[in-house]
Chains A and B, each alone.
Chain A
Amino acid sequence: GQQLNQSPQSMFIQEGEDVSMNCTSSSIFNTWLWYKQDPGEGPVLLIALYKAGELTSNGRLTAQFGITRKDSFLNISASIPSDVGIYFCAGQYNNDMRFGAGTRLTVKP
């Protein structure tokens, strides 16, 4: 099946720093999505990307759908303590959605 490689696995940053994480795949997707999961909760959608090359922002978050349709990145600018959590990328092709293994973000005040 389609595999997503998400990196880095974890990040420890200082409050105020920018963060970048990415996902790559051996297969193409129609849609890329980025989710955040807080402890004990289900993932919550942050950004959805619908076409190759698309660059979308949501507040301090910016994500891009790679031109090859096989990759995506998420940037978080000026991190704050509440950004702590696990971030997942997901690629969707028709009814099949695959998730990356997640990036665990720790923000030190």
Chain B
Amino acid sequence: NAGVTQTPKFQVLKTGQSMTLQCAQDMNHEYMSWYRQDPGMGLRLIHYSVGAGITDQGEVPNGYNVSRSTTEDFPLRLLSAAPSQTSVYFCASKWGYEQYFGPGTRLTVT
């Protein structure tokens, strides 16, 4: 049981480039979410999904897209990276009220 996995662990992008952060979970959880973590600001919710085919916006959705075609996978897409998107990104899945986080992706946009 791998839990929540994220790839890549580190990524450097140039302004305007696009990329997809991958997230997968093997716990059959319906609820998955993406957060960004910035110094002194805790974690902020970007997008979430309550099941395959259903996604919704969180607190800071601008500049990010998501889709949920399967229960296991919840990729996060940056269409045109900006320096303000430099952050650590965490994917999570939830059972009831207990949320399980992946190890994170550290993204730098230059």
Query: Which residues of A are in contact with B by a Cβ distance under 8 Å?
Result: 1, 4, 6, 9, 31, 33, 40-45, 48, 50, 88, 90, 92, 95-102
Contacts and interface: CB of A to CB of B under 8 A. Distances in A.
3 nearest A-B pairs in the assembled complex, by CB-CB distance: A42-B101, A99-B42, A99-B43
Interface in B95-110: 97-104
B40 interface: yes
Contact of A101 (B40, B45, B50, B100): B40
Nearest to B45: A97
A4 B43 CA distance: 11
A101 B42 contact: yes
Contact of A97 (B41, B90, B99): B99
Given A95-B31, A95-B50, A100 B45 contact: no
Nearest to B50: A95
B59 A92 contact: no
